Amino acid sequence: MKNSNSGSLRNLIARLSDGTLSPEEEDQLNQLLQADPIAQQQYLDHMLIDALLEREFGGALPHAAINGMAQITVPLGSPIASLKASGLRFLRTRAARWALTPVLAIILVAAGWLWREWNGAEIEQPQRLKLANSGFEEGQLIFKRRPSTAAWAGDIAEMIEHFSGVTPHEGSQMVRFVESVVGAEDACELYQIVELGDMAEIIASRPTSVEASAFFNAIEAEDHSAFDVTVFAFSADPAAHPDVWPTRRERALTFSGSQVRADSDTKSWQQVVARLNLPADTRYLVVRLSVFCNDSERSNSRFPGQFADNVTLNLVSL
Amino acid sequence: MDREGDEFVRLLTASQSSLYACILAMLPDRVAAQDILQETNLTLWHKAEDFDLGTSFIAWASRIARYHVLNYRRKRNRDRLVFDGRLFNELSERLTERSEDVDHFKESLRECLKRLPAEQRDLVARRYAAGGSVKRIAQSRGQTVGAVSQILYRIRESLLNCVSQYAQEGQQ
């Protein structure tokens, strides 16, 4: 193998193994492996380890099912017992194998199906749900007591490029939580409604969860900041009735949140991830981002410097 | 079932991981590889009487698996296959020559996994557990998919060195 290509080959094999190889990269991989025994060896070694790891950690089910094949199919065939008693090698005959083939086929197909179900989330990749202004790069923040679709609403916040040395996690802007007005004084919140549309059919037909993630940062640790992401599930549009959101804890089908305490490192962003198993009748989600400021010496409801960026929402079929 | 029948089922059962690995290396498509493993199992069962006990089961089984992969490739458009025909032939021949290595790799992999630092072992477990994906790991670690992919590559490389060492020691 040419040394200059070893980095590319390594990268391409890694991407192939992880399922992220593009068609153009497939062509490159073909070219690098073509008539190059050492590169082919490297590829084979790597894919063999990859497959064995897959079986070691995720492929136990077919193994168990095939183990069961010996125990289930043979006793099933009462002819076998009698033939065994008569000393004939029934199972080693073609006729016996043809007789047992339908049973074996059913078991293998069932094993395959169960294996796929077991590994379903891997086969069916998480589906990204559309969140408006997920990186706080465009549009406007709405100062409002109720969540809206297609925009972040809630307490007073601003989209900025930098603040006291803190720069965005991704893109050119981030959101700064400025002042708590609509809720408790120690919390500043933004929320957004996501209508599930066609996705609701998936949720109704199979176990599904949603994963909401956001990155947070704060300028200092002395104020005991904390960050929170919460997802609420609703069967009807929570914006349709003014009293739904204020009583969300009672009106939501379910909700789940996750909190992280701010660290003192302004250079790194902290990720907060909330997961929620969705009831079958979920039609709307509300994602809420909150920052808490527990500084008892703070004289007003303004927040000194808490930020969020890069919010994502993924649907995962279980 | 007689003793030879018992032995055949034991070999078939024990070879599932190695056989899957051979198929995936020839056809890097996890869903198709799983289907082909099932088809291969059926053929192996049908042809059980052609197998000579005492010879290499995985070498025999991987030749039959190669036939099924070839069949699958014939039914698919070239643009849906990663490797072209010539490269597939080269790879599958090379693989057939060393199919017994796969069994050795499999036997020592568990031991090599124990030798990994806890953090790496945890990462591998997350990647290969049901529902695991590089993208999800990258999100949870706040890293890019490419960065996680490269870390995993290096871990697989060190596992490969370890299992190869075991295989060499076994031959001495």
pLDDT at site B156? 95
Which one has a higher pLDDT value, A70 or A39?
A39
Q: Pairing between strand A174-179 and A156-160?
A: antiparallel
Q: Name the 3-class secondary structure at B162.
A: helix
Whether residue A64 is predicted with pLDDT greater than 50 in this model: the reply is no
B93 and B26: one domain?
yes
Identify all chain A residues contacting B35, using CB atoms and an 8 Å cutoff: 112
d(C-alpha A34, C-alpha A78), whole Å: 53
Q: What is the mean pLDDT of residues A245-263?
A: 83
Residue B154's pLDDT band, with cuts at 50, 70 and 90, is very high
Best CATH choice for the domain A127-317 from the list 2.60.120.260, 3.20.20.370, 1.10.1040.50, 3.40.190.170 = 2.60.120.260
B164 and B107: one domain?
yes
Are A53 and B109 a contacting pair at CB < 8 A?
yes
Instruction: Select from B6, B86, B91 the Cβ nearest to the Cβ of A44.
Output: B91
Least CA distance to B34: which residue of chain A? A112
Provide the residue range defining the domain that includes B69: 3-97
Residue B156, H or E segment: helix B145-171
B7 and B92: one domain?
yes
How many domains in chain B? 2
Instruction: Select from A56, A74, A213 the Cβ nearest to the Cβ of B1.
Output: A74
% of chain A at pLDDT higher than 90:
29
Place of tokens 């070879």: B15
Ranges of each domain in chain A: 3-58, 60-123, 127-317
Rounded to the nearest angstrom, the minimum Cα separation between A191 and chain B is 21
pLDDT at site A289? 95
CATH number of the domain to which B30 belongs: 1.10.1740.10
B30 and B79: one domain?
yes
Whether residue A88 is predicted with pLDDT greater than 80 in this model: the reply is no
How does the average pLDDT of chain A come out, rounded? 77
B21 and B68: one domain?
yes
Q: A with B: how many residue pairs have Cβ under 8 Å apart? A: 215
B86 and B19: one domain?
yes
Point out the domain boundary residue: B42, B66, B97.
Answer: B97
Rounded to the nearest angstrom, the minimum Cα separation between B119 and chain A is 16
Question: Given its phi and psi angles, is residue A306 left (phi above 0), alpha (psi -120 to 50 degrees) or beta?
Answer: beta
Instruction: Select from A34, A92, A318 the Cβ nearest to the Cβ of B5.
Output: A92
This model's pTM is above 0.80: no
User: Among A48-62, A84-98, A290-304, which stretch is predicted with the lowest mean pLDDT?
Assistant: A84-98
B116 and B154: one domain?
yes
pLDDT at site A18? 86
d(C-alpha B144, C-alpha B122), whole Å: 18
Which one has a higher pLDDT value, A44 or A57?
A44
pLDDT at site A66? 38
B89 and B111: one domain?
no
Point out the domain boundary residue: B97, B123, B157.
Answer: B97
Query: Given CB atoms, is B28 within the 8 Å cutoff of chain A?
Result: yes
B133 and B115: one domain?
yes
Whether residue A193 is predicted with pLDDT greater than 70 in this model: the reply is yes
B24 and B84: one domain?
yes
pLDDT at site A222? 59
B90 and B142: one domain?
no
B113 and B82: one domain?
no
Contact A272, A228 (CB under 8 A): yes
Whether residue A21 is predicted with pLDDT greater than 50 in this model: the reply is yes
